[in-house]
Amino acid sequence: MVPDLDSLPVSRSGGGRLRTVALVGIDGSGKTTQAHQLATALAARGLPATYRRNAGGRRWFGRLAVALGRMDGEHLLGRRAMLFVESVLRWLAILRTLLRRRITGEISIMDRYAVCQYASIRAHAKTPRPGRLNRAERRARLAYRVFPKPDVTFLLAVDPAIAYDRIERRGYDHEEMAYLRAASAAYEALPERPDFVVIDANGTPAEVGAALIGYLTTPPPAVAVPTARVPVGRRGPAAALVSHGRMLLLAGATLAAASALTYQLAEGF
Ligand SMILES: Cc1cn([C@H]2C[C@H](O)[C@@H](COP(=O)(O)OP(=O)(O)O)O2)c(=O)[nH]c1=O
């Protein structure tokens, strides 16, 4: 059966058409592989799905650091500066993705989203405490709150040891086991965690891909499932106000982000 836009669960739950899908999880969980695969699978079903990468530049700075004789981006810039740069670049990347989505009407299959930055901040803290919201995260949340929640957020849950092996095999970066464990715990402790659709990502790309597409194309249960997308109290004129306010904020942010240099930086990461 070939599903159309209106056959996807998100539209059936009353929230309108499916517009944004985010894949989140620790490094090596398979976000990039699966986001590409999912966009291709949806496109093959005639849906306007496009892969979008909301990267924070850590990998790029890692390569630069190595070229300059340092271990990684954190070693090059310092822990706090790297987190700040990552937060800014990811913010710009998400903004660009959402603006593109608005212009093209595509279904954006997003490789990472705002929650990845919150998890990164927790896991990269001097003393990682996965359950604790620190000052840096508070600031990031303030900046990222202009972005709407994706229609679906898939958390690719993977054993950190499997993720570690995958990263070693892909060969162009390295993560410590302690960091992967802290990041995994951070995702589990995020307040957004109850909204995630958790997918077992320990399997093969085909198995995980089937779980993702299966979720999106399987009709929801007949019982009324409350949707978290639009709180009931925000419907009607209040919803319109919130929506306009958000658009104004986004427009202002677009101006701030309009420098070609910054745009190119975000594009490259
Ligand atoms: C999804 C998946 C990826 N891989 C490989 C592909 C990549 O080289 C590497 C990491 O996957 P990748 O998609 O790059 O993970 P992320 O974007 O979350 O960091 O592991 C597997 O070996 N098995 C899998 O099931």
Please, which pLDDT band fits residue 83 given cuts at 50, 70 and 90?
Answer: very high
Q: How many angstroms does the Cα of residue 15 sit away from the middle of ligand 1? A: 32
Residue 119 lies in a domain: yes
Cβ neighbours, 10 Å, residue 221: 8
Question: Is 30's C-beta closer than 6 angstroms to any atom of ligand 1?
Answer: yes
* Residue 79, pLDDT above cutoff 50: yes
Q: Which of 29, 31, 33 to mutate to test the pocket of ligand 1 (most atoms within 8 A of CB)?
A: 33
Q: Which of 166, 168, 179, 202 to mutate to test the pocket of ligand 1 (most atoms within 8 A of CB)?
A: 166
Residue 85 lies in a domain: no
Contacts of 30 (CB under 8 A, 6+ apart): 156, 158, 166, 201, 205, 208
Question: Is 29's C-beta closer than 6 angstroms to any atom of ligand 1?
Answer: yes
Measured from the CA of 29, which atom of ligand 1 is nearest? 18
What is the distance between the alpha carbons of residues 174 and 224, in angstroms, rounded to a whole number?
A: 45
pLDDT for residue 269: 47
Residue 158 lies in a domain: yes
Task: Convert the pLDDT of each residue in 54-71 to its tens digit.
Answer: 999 888 888 888 888 888
Measured from the CA of 203, which atom of ligand 1 is nearest? 25
Question: Is 160's C-beta closer than 6 angstroms to any atom of ligand 1?
Answer: no
What is the distance between the alpha carbons of residues 83 and 206, in angstroms, rounded to a whole number?
A: 33
* Whole-number Cα distances in Å, 269 to 51, 99, 199: 14, 18, 26
The structural domain count of the chain equals 1
Residue 91 lies in a domain: no
Q: Which whole number is the average pLDDT over 33-55?
A: 96
Task: Convert the pLDDT of each residue in 222-242 to its tens digit.
Answer: 655 454 444 444 445 565 565
pLDDT for residue 245: 65
Instruction: Give SS3 for 65.
Output: helix
The ipTM is 0.96
Residue 29 lies in a domain: yes
Residue 147 lies in a domain: yes
Question: Is 252's C-beta closer than 6 angstroms to any atom of ligand 1?
Answer: no
Domain CATH code at residue 203: 3.40.50.300
pLDDT for residue 76: 83
Enclosing domain of residue 134: 16-54+107-218
Sequence length of the chain is 269
pLDDT for residue 71: 82
pLDDT for residue 105: 95
What is the distance between the alpha carbons of residues 237 and 2, in angstroms, rounded to a whole number?
A: 36
* Residue 149, pLDDT above cutoff 50: yes
- Least confident among 20-24, 49-53, 74-78, 110-114: 74-78
11-15-16 Cα angle (round to 5): 55
Measured from the CA of 204, which atom of ligand 1 is nearest? 25
Residue 5 lies in a domain: no
Question: Is 27's C-beta closer than 6 angstroms to any atom of ligand 1?
Answer: yes
Q: How many angstroms does the Cα of residue 32 sit away from the middle of ligand 1? A: 7
Measured from the CA of 169, which atom of ligand 1 is nearest? 8
Q: Which residue has the higher pLDDT, 46 or 130?
A: 46
Q: Which residue has the higher pLDDT, 255 or 204?
A: 204
202 close to 162: Cβ distance less than 8 angstroms: yes
- pTM (predicted TM-score): 0.82
Residue 186 lies in a domain: yes
Closest CA to ligand 1's atom 5: 166
Strand duo 107-111 + 20-24: pairing: parallel
Q: Which of 42-51, 220-229, 253-262 has the highest mean pLDDT?
A: 42-51
Measured from the CA of 207, which atom of ligand 1 is nearest? 25
* Residue 252, pLDDT above cutoff 70: no
pLDDT for residue 65: 86
Closest CA to ligand 1's atom 7: 170
What is the distance between the alpha carbons of residues 191 and 184, in angstroms, rounded to a whole number?
A: 14
Q: Which whole number is the average pLDDT over 139-163?
A: 97
Give me the DSSP letters along 147-198. SPPPSEEEEEE--HHHHHHHHHHH-S----HHHHHHHHHHHHHSTTGGGSEE
Question: Is 170's C-beta closer than 6 angstroms to any atom of ligand 1?
Answer: yes
Contacts of 206 (CB under 8 A, 6+ apart): none
